[in-house]
Chains A and B, each alone.
Chain A
Amino acid sequence: MKKRPAKAGCQSSGQDQVSELLIMPDGQILVHNLTPAFARLLHELNPTAEQISSRVTRHSSPSHELPN
């Protein structure tokens, strides 16, 4: 098992977005601090994942968020 979660982006001062992932050997992905942009990305990767699709919002994206 991966001991340190991968961080997407960096943090502080609210200028950047950060989500943390833990990818399990069985393919399960656990997410901490899920941002709207990252939720959209995960939803595109697996549109059938109900836990993610329920969290995809229309919150508008600041320019520094991940592109769609």
Chain B
Amino acid sequence: MRREAKRHAALAGADEVSKSGVAGALCHRSPKSRSVLARERAQIARALLADCRLCAHDCGVNRLAGETGLCHAGAEARFFCAQTEVSDELELIPTFAVALCGCDMRCDFCITGATSWNARTGDLVVAALRRQKGGGDALVAPRGDGAASTLLRRGVATTLQPQRLSGLEQLAQQAEQALANGARTIMVLGGEPTIHLPTVLELVSQLPDTAKLIWKTNAHGSAQARELLDGLFDVWLADFKFGNDACAQRLAKTPDYLRVIEENLRWADAHSELIVRHLLMPGHVDCCWRPVAEWLAANLPGVKVNLRSGFWPAWRAARHIELRGTVSTPENERAVALAREFGLNLIP
């Protein structure tokens, strides 16, 4: 099914989804615009923070009350970068990319490292309405960042520095301006945006329904998160980082990796356009790229695959001896040869 058809089916056919759990709450009787649907789901997503299971770690903490799980994210999202970029897939660029702070994975080679790991840095993204009300049940600002840190509750005046409180509406306006200036898409990424689903949905509700939206994800979200996202993003740009659970555990402290990622990729392919990314890592052609390529060929034949060869030893990569350099030319050539051997649909 083509992208638009898949998205339309998801928007119009929510009555068909399961009546249990989140899906039941998502049911509606008539097709709704993306912005309306996103606004409704944002409220559901925010309530779900009281028992957060947005990612596959399934922590179950109450983020609305200030508890934090493995991602250390509070109830509010922050962003560390919002700009037009041209370094992504050619068919998506220029893209206005909004990068949210915090991640549920702990990849030692993360190219944005501390900036994207730390959910308590960057600028707050809060919708004007909730800003005026002082939050819904509780609006918890991340702790530990000096004068800008505070705890906001109903009726309590904000002590956040005004210049650090970036409105959601401002971000949406920047995105619209970027589209007017020639950007083709709007991309939401991290860190990992899944852990900030309430804010992401609020942002989507502010964007034009015609904008092409890209969900850049580590594909480690939960089924609950998928249901909240269904039909809202035109393209899922999903990482498939590791070809086995041992590498995922050793390099990213992420257990049960393959099961979660493969389930999410299958779902994404069935519900939207999917582009799978694999960052080629030095010394991991046989243990990671080969099984990833083999799985994609067998399970998602024809899916667009972007094999990224520009690994650099960022963040804590030096903890792992094989990750202290870049990918060699012979390794890169072998990886491309494997892709051809498996008949993958490589895109630039």
Dominant secondary structure of chain B at its interface with chain A = loop
CB of A57 within 8 A of CB of B182, answer yes
| A60 and B90 contact, CB distance less than 8 A | no
Which residues on the A side are within 8 Å of B123 (C-beta)?
12-13
Whether B326 pairs with A35 at a CB distance below 8 angstroms is no
Contact A13-B166, Cβ < 8 Å, known A30-B312, A55-B86: yes
Specify which of A11, A56, A59 is in contact with B84 (CB 8 Å cutoff).
A59
In contact, B86 and A30 (Cβ under 8 angstroms) = no
Instruction: Flag whether A47 is at the interface (Cβ < 8 A).
Output: no
B87 in the interface (beta carbon within 8 A): yes
B297 at the A interface (CB under 8 A): no
* Minimum Cβ distance to chain A for residue B129 (Å): 20
Shortest C-beta distance, B115 to chain A (Å), equals: 8
B338 at the interface (CB under 8 A from A): no
A18 to B83, CA, bound (A): 8
What A residues does B318 contact at CB under 8 A? 3
Question: Which B residues between 297 and 325 are near A, CB-CB below 8 angstroms?
Answer: 310, 312-314, 318, 325
A16 to B84 Cα, complex, angstroms: 10
Q: Count contacts on B: residues with CB < 8 A to the other chain.
A: 31
Tell me whether chain A's interface is mostly helix, strand or loop, or mixed.
loop
A59 touches B90 (CB 8 A): no
> A54 in the interface, Cβ–Cβ < 8 Å?
yes
* Chain A residue at smallest Cβ distance from B325: A1
B61 at interface, CB cutoff 8 A:
no
The answer to whether residues A14 and B174 also contact, given A22-B312, A54-B348 and a CB cut-off of 8 A, is yes
Q: Decide: A58 and B182 in contact? CB cutoff 8 A.
A: yes
The reply to whether A33 and B81 contact each other, CB–CB distance below 8 Å, is yes
Cβ-closest chain B residue relative to A50:
B348
Chain B, residue nearest A60 (CB): B181
Q: How far is the CA of A13 from the CA of B313 in the complex (A)?
A: 27
Chain A 11-55 near chain B by CB (<8 Å), digits 1 or 0: 111101110101010001011111110010000000000000011
Chain B residue numbers with a CB within 8 Å of A39 are: 86
- 4 cross-chain pairs, A with B, having the tightest CB-CB distances, nearest first: A14-B82, A34-B87, A59-B182, A55-B86
A-B CB contact pairs (8 Å), 16 listed: A13-B170, A14-B82, A14-B171, A14-B174, A17-B83, A18-B81, A32-B111, A35-B83, A36-B84, A36-B94, A39-B86, A54-B90, A55-B86, A56-B86, A57-B86, A60-B181
Q: Which chain B residues have a beta carbon within 8 Å of chain A's beta carbons?
A: 80-87, 90, 93-94, 97, 111-112, 122-123, 166, 170-171, 174, 181-183, 310, 312-314, 318, 325-326, 348
Q: A24-B326, A36-B85, A57-B94 provided; 6 other pairs, C-beta below 8 A? A: A12-B81, A13-B123, A13-B166, A14-B83, A14-B174, A32-B111
